[in-house]
């Protein structure tokens, strides 16, 4: 094409400027503009399922002590005779959570078997520190003990069988449940306080993801990437003005706080005659190996069961792949144990 004619056509808008003389002489096809690539559509994330609300309680916000957090909720099952009772302690690292967690499942499951339900609130670590409690975890554990004694003191009024009370919970609530099961009974039979005369030991404990020891040395030996527990003893580090757990300092101060560890770690309290326990974990154990979730590792369960066996305390340990499972869930275990 003559250069003069090409120029006229370009000016007339009949050819794109991309059809240059170079394209013509080389025989290459003119480049065409590409439509912008479409941005891949974002995959819609499924919103987490909201837990169904629990059934309407028989009694709510019942105080078992003077602190605003020392309250409980009660779901009564109707019966002509005193009923067994589930005593539930919520998890959350003794720093989060509330007593309604899990109740949408627990209450119907227990009522089906004629078992009443109590779920408690308790002081968290920060509130214990504010109250001057040393170590802070003492407030969480002793609140639970007092709540259990209070429930027993209400046995006649609430139509409960005080000899059939199962402690249950997950994570920190599981650790607390085991502490109640293994600690010496806190009852003071000749106390002027009728609540203090009641037993603080449950009939059994059925727990999920329990930390069975609060000894940092044991935790690191069992699961090398353990990071949990310093907060229970008020050991923190400051980061940007905020308190964060400090496992390294916890481990370094282990010998200094050993008396506290022996008093508040379930593993160190096991003795003959303790009530039977059920331990449930979401992954198989692997002692001495890095765990995906070291805070809730089944290593905790394996090592506790070994000690319980030494003292002939019955224990069911459940995790994926475990053999000889009698009860698949904590609810199954509680129902079977309390309705014998």
- The answer to the question of residue 223 being in a domain is no
Residue 47 pLDDT grade (very low, low, confident, very high; cuts 50, 70, 90): low
Contact present, 75 and 107 (Cβ < 8 Å)? yes
Give strand ranges (E) for 250-335.
Answer: 277-280, 315-318
26 pLDDT above the threshold of 70: no
Q: What is the CATH number of the domain that holds 165?
A: 3.40.50.1820
- The answer to the question of residue 7 being in a domain is no
Predicted TM-score (pTM) of this structure: 0.85
Q: Which long-range contacts (CB under 8 A, 24 or more apart) does 214-218 make?
A: 214/137, 214/175, 214/261, 214/264, 214/265, 214/266, 215/254, 215/261, 215/265, 215/267, 215/268, 216/247, 216/250, 216/251, 216/254, 217/251, 217/254, 218/267, 218/303
The CA-based angle 275-70-163, given to 5 degrees, is: 25
- The answer to the question of residue 256 being in a domain is no
- The answer to the question of residue 5 being in a domain is no
- The answer to the question of residue 59 being in a domain is no
Please give the residue range of the domain that contains residue 117: 72-215+264-338
The pLDDT tens digits of the residues spanning 228-260 come to 999 999 999 988 888 899 999 999 999 999 999
Question: If you search the block for the tokens 């007339």, which residue do you land on?
Answer: 12
The count of domains in the chain is 1
Question: If you search the block for the tokens 């199962």, which residue do you land on?
Answer: 166
């Amino acid at each position: 094409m003559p250069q003069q004619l090409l120029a006229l056509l370009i000016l007339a808008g009949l050819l794109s400027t991309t059809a240059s003389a170079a394209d013509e002489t080389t025989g290459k096809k003119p480049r065409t503009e590409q439509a912008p690539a479409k941005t891949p559509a974002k995959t819609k994330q499924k919103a987490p399922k909201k837990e169904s609300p629990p059934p309407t309680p028989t009694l709510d916000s019942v105080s078992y002590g003077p602190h605003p957090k020392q309250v409980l909720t009660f779901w009564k099952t109707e019966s002509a005779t005193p009923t067994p009772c589930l005593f539930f302690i919520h998890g959350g690292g003794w720093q989060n959570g509330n007593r309604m967690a899990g109740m949408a499942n627990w209450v119907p499951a227990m009522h089906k078997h004629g078992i009443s339900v109590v779920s408690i609130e308790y002081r968290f670590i920060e509130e214990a520190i504010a109250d001057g409690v040393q170590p802070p975890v003492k407030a969480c554990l002793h609140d639970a003990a007092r709540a259990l004694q209070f429930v027993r003191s209400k046995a006649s009024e609430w139509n409960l069988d005080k000899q059939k009370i199962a402690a249950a919970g997950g994570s920190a609530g599981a650790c607390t449940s085991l502490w109640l099961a293994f600690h010496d009974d806190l009852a003071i039979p000749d106390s002027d306080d009728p609540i203090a005369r009641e037993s603080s030991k449950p009939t059994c404990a059925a727990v999920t993801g329990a930390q069975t020891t609060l000894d940092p040395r044991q935790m690191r030996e069992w699961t090398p990437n353990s990071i949990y527990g310093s907060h229970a003893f008020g050991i923190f580090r400051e980061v940007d003005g905020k308190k964060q757990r400090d496992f390294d300092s916890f481990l370094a101060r282990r010998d200094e706080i050993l008396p506290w560890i022996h008093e508040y770690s379930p593993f160190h309290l096991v003795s003959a005659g303790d009530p039977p326990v059920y331990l449930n974990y979401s992954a198989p154990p692997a002692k001495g190996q890095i765990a995906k979730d070291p805070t809730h590792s089944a290593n905790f369960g394996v090592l506790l069961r070994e000690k319980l066996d030494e003292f002939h305390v019955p224990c069911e340990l459940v995790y994926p792949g475990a053999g000889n499972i009698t009860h698949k869930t904590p609810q199954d275990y509680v129902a079977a144990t309390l309705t014998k």
